[in-house]
Amino acid sequence: MSSILREITPLSPKDCLYIADRVKSEFTYPIHSHEEYELNFIERAAGVKRIVGDSIETIGDYDLVLITGKDLEHAWLQNNCKLTNVREITVQFSPDLFFNNFLHKNQFNSIKAMLEKAQNGISYPLKAIMKVYHLLDTIAHGEQGFYTVMKFLTILHELSGFTDVAKSLSSTSFAHVTVDNNSRRIKKVQQYIFDNYKKDIRLNQMADLTGMSPVAFSRFFKLRTGRSLTDYIIDIRLGHATRLLIESRMTVAEICYDCGFNNISNFNRLFKKSKKYAPSEFRDNYLKKKVLV
């Protein structure tokens, strides 16, 4: 299959930020990825289709997304948007903006947590967008000097207050994100599922793996991850399935069974419920915007 475009961004190694402020009438840039972190704001773009990893959504009038996964594919596509005065502000910044242990200081805990969550791509609610709208507008118009960097750090700080309500976009398995969990038992279970998602995984197995009873483990797992074991396994399998839809020539049925699903109808139903598209529709949507590099 063709590769995703690997973008070489204009950000200089000697600069902290690259800021682009554009008014556009159409979205033509294909699905791409890059090493730099990116905060992307769009207004007056209702009907545009946003792709981040295996998330495909149609946006409203305002959209603000933070992406810190270096290999996480993303794009904003024209779709049903008929407006001709769309504004887009893109801020790209290097992962080493927070030099040495700067990010590990207590005052940056909330920003660190947000950047980690944004490995999957996160979108912010309107309340968060309105909180930083003026600052985004200011840095887009100003000189890219010291004070612009300070204002951008303020933007990140303000947005970090919305991390809990910001919507995670791509699935973890699709984005190749390693989940950082403080519980050694949860890490052990997550690693087992990641390594064995193609196999039949039972609750009793996971309970034995952690030395807990099935009932106690179910409660413990949901408390720590926010999802039931069954839902977590399905999410991992769907993430691998979407990756295969994009990167392989396997049929939908082959992908279904290769990812641990044992019923094609059930796979189609779960996929559409999660991704809003049937597997074949998802593949078509994605591949139309892929390019050879």
Q: Where are the domains of the chain?
A: 5-170, 178-287
Query: Is the domain 178-287 a CATH 1.10.10.60 member?
Result: yes
The model's pTM is: 0.79
What pLDDT is attached to residue 121?
96
CB 38, CB 92: distance < 8 Å: yes
Closest CA to 48 of 84, 82, 78: 78
The average pLDDT across 139-153 equals: 87
Higher pLDDT, 28 or 103: 28
Neighbours of 75 (CB within 10 A): 20
Please, what is the average pLDDT of the chain? 88
* Residues 221-255 pLDDT 10s: 988 888 899 999 999 999 999 989 988 899 999 99
Tell me the pLDDT tens digit for each residue of 19-47: 999 999 888 888 888 889 999 999 999 99
| For range 153-169, the mean pLDDT | 95
Which residues have CB under 8 Å from 105's CB, separation 6+? none
What is the tens place of the pLDDT at every residue in 110-126? 999 999 999 999 999 99
- What percent of the chain has pLDDT above 70? 93
Assigned superfamily of 5-170: Jelly Rolls (2.60.120.10)
Written in H, E and C, the secondary structure of the chain is CCCCEECCCCCCCCCCEEEEEEEECCCCCCCEECCCEEEEEEECCCCCEEEECCEEEECCCEEEEEECCCCCCEEEECCCCCCCCEEEEEEEECHHHCCCCHHHCHHHHHHHHHHHHHHHCEECCHHHHHHHHHHHHHHHHCCCCHHHHHHHHHHHHHHHCCCCCCEECCCHHHHCCCCCCCCHHHHHHHHHHHHHCCCCCCHHHHHHHHCCCHHHHHHHHHHHHCCCHHHHHHHHHHHHHHHHHHHCCCCHHHHHHHCCCCCHHHHHHHHHHHHCCCHHHHHHHHHCCCCCC
Asked whether residue 280 carries a pLDDT value surpassing 90, the answer given is yes
Confidence class for position 1, pLDDT limits 50, 70, 90: very low
pLDDT score recorded for residue 31: 87
Residue 179 has pLDDT above 70, yes or no: no
Average pLDDT over residues 136-141: 92
Do 178-287 and 5-170 have the same topology in CATH? no
